[in-house]
Each structure stands twice: as structure tokens, then as C-alpha cells.
Amino acid sequence: MSDLDFVPGVAQILVIGAGGAARGAIAALCRSGAKKILICNRSLDNAHAVKIAMSGRYPDTCIDVVAEKNICAEHFASTCLLLNTTSLGMNGERIGYISLSKLPKHARVYDMVYSNTGTSLVMDAVATDLRAVNGVGMLIAQGERAFEIWTGQKPLKGVMQRALNSI
């Protein structure tokens, strides 16, 4: 979230998706001090499973769920960070039920999908004057960490970014 200059606090974080990426992101957000997370997913059962697992580990964070068909303007209006953890957007598709215009102007948008050209969600957010980034920074951080694990050495600053840019 450093790409967005975002620090979790008491405002709501809206997480789109309930898979492994959502679990990892929610755990990191909880450890960073998030107080309120709303999980929105197609399958309410999957969202509830993530809620139960994460609530048990992070009792100081209020975690709730909403089915994508039931999400409404109030959910967006109280959101400080919208986080897409699904693969939607990887092929240019839009997440139809997301209403970026209902987010407060100070809200941030983070799309875990990485793309050097930008995702539809990020481009739409920027067009709505919201600060937004895709998952390229996350991919770079993962590459740096993997390099360190495998070699026992930290990579030179910027080497992963340059490698990614060369593709």
C-alpha cells in the first residue's frame, strides 16, 4: 500500500474477492492496523469463510461481508480503500458492480492485477480523480523477496523494476 501513501485506520476497506489473494491482503491490512474491512464476493459462502478465518486471527479488526449483488452506495461512500484481489481486469474486463463515483474523493484504489499498461479499474479510478495503482509494485516486491530468499542477498535497488520494464 506504500504505492498509494495509504495507512490503514478506522475507515472501511472494501476488499473485492475472497480467494487466496484476499486472505493474504486482509491479513497484511489487519497487521497494519485496519479496523474495518468489508469483503464483497460473488459467493457469500466464500466471503463468510474468509471472514471467519480472519476474524479469529485478528479480533481487533471488524470484518464483514456483502454479496456483490447487494452492494450499495453506502458501502462505497464509507470506503477509504477499494482493493481488487480478483483476476477481473487481467483481460481488460470491468467489474460491473463497482461504482467508483460513489467513493469519497480521498479514497484510494488498489488493483492487485498487474499491468504495465494499466488495468481498466485503475484507469477508470484515475479518470474519476481517485489515486490508484495496480499490482506492479507488489510483483516487484515479490521478486525482490524471492531473490533474497534464494540467494541470501538483497537485490540492488531498482533491479526488479528495470527487469520488469525490459519485458
Q: Per residue, what are the HEC states of the chain? A: CHHHCCCCCCCEEEEECCCHHHHHHHHHHHHCCCCEEEEEECCHHHHHHHHHHHHHHCCCCEEEEEEHHHCCHHHHHCEEEEEECCCCCCCCCCCCCCCHHHCCCCCEEEECCCCCCCCHHHHHHHHCCCEEEECHHHHHHHHHHHHHHHHCCCCCCCHHHHHHHCC
Q: What is the pLDDT of residue 136?
A: 74
Q: Hey, what's the cell of 102?
A: 460513489
Nearest 5°: the CA angle 79, 87, 45 is 70
| Residues of the chain under the 50 pLDDT cut | none
pLDDT confidence of residue 87 = 81
**Phi first, then psi: what are they for 102, rounded to 5°?**
-90, -10
What is the pLDDT, as a whole number, of residue 129? 93
Contact 25, 135 (CB under 8 A): no
Per-residue confidence (pLDDT) for residue 19, from 0 to 100: 92
User: What pLDDT, on a 0 to 100 scale, did the predictor assign at position 4?
Assistant: 63
Q: Which three cell numbers stand for residue 21?
A: 489473494
Question: What is the maximum alpha-carbon separation in the chain?
Answer: 48
Instruction: Set out the domains of the chain in order of their start, with CATH numbers.
Output: 2-134 (3.40.50.720), 136-167 (no CATH)
pLDDT of residue 118: 76
Cα separation, 109 vs 125, whole angstroms: 7
pLDDT the model gives residue 2:
57
User: How far is 156 from 136, CA to CA, in rounded Å?
Assistant: 18
